[in-house]
């Protein structure tokens, strides 16, 4: 039986911008991992404590042991730039261990504890390769799939 892991990606919007969340189901294959978008949502006008609660509920839903015999591993990845930094701290305060990603225009990826500083071109190139190779799929039936 294939064991899936899940990644919850979160981009925190400023007060009038959208906050967006995506859930990827990661399935190991013979040589690579397949990433399938299984949930997309976005909202605005919601304060940061409520955003933390929404993501907590989303992660609890994914881990719900009544759906699977063994709860899957769920990783939370948050854009730590802009308003994301304080929100990452809020996630840590409630016991979650988010991976922070700070996107920059430089040339090197640097890890500092649970935060990665990653060049934008590297992120874009990786997503592009995964899309072109079919390793990252977004079901067109998902709400907000067209926006993504």
- From first to last of the 148 residues of the chain, give the pLDDT tens digit: 557 799 999 999 987 889 999 999 999 888 889 999 999 999 999 999 999 999 999 999 998 866 666 778 999 999 998 888 899 999 999 999 999 999 999 999 999 999 999 999 999 999 999 999 999 998 888 888 888 7
Compute the distance between CA of residue 93 and CA of residue 114 in angstroms, rounded to an integer: 14
The angle formed by the CA atoms of residues 8, 4 and 133, to the nearest 5 degrees, is: 80
Report strand pairing: 110-112 vs 115-119: antiparallel
* Euclidean distance between the first and the last CA atom of the chain, given in angstroms as a whole number: 31
Angle at 45 between CA 39 and CA 49, to 5 degrees: 75
**pLDDT at residue 54, as a whole number:** 96
Answer whether 38's CB lies under 8 Å from 23's CB.
yes
Handedness of CA 120, 50, 91, 68 (dihedral sign): negative
């Amino acid at each position: 039986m294939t064991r899936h892991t899940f990644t919850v990606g979160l981009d925190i919007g400023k007060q009038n911008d959208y906050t967006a969340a995506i859930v990827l189901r990661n399935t190991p294959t013979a040589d690579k991992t397949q990433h399938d978008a299984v949930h997309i949502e976005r909202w605005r006008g919601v304060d940061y404590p409520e955003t933390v609660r929404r993501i907590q509920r989303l992660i609890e839903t994914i881990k719900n042991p009544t759906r699977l015999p063994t709860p899957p591993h769920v990783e939370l990845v948050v854009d730590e730039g802009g308003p994301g930094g304080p929100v990452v701290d809020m996630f840590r305060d409630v016991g979650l261990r988010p991976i922070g990603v700070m996107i920059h225009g430089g040339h090197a990826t640097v890890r500092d504890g649970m935060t990665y500083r990653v060049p934008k071109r590297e992120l874009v190139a990786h997503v592009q390769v995964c899309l072109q190779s079919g390793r990252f799929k977004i079901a067109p039936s998902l709400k907000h799939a067209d926006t993504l």
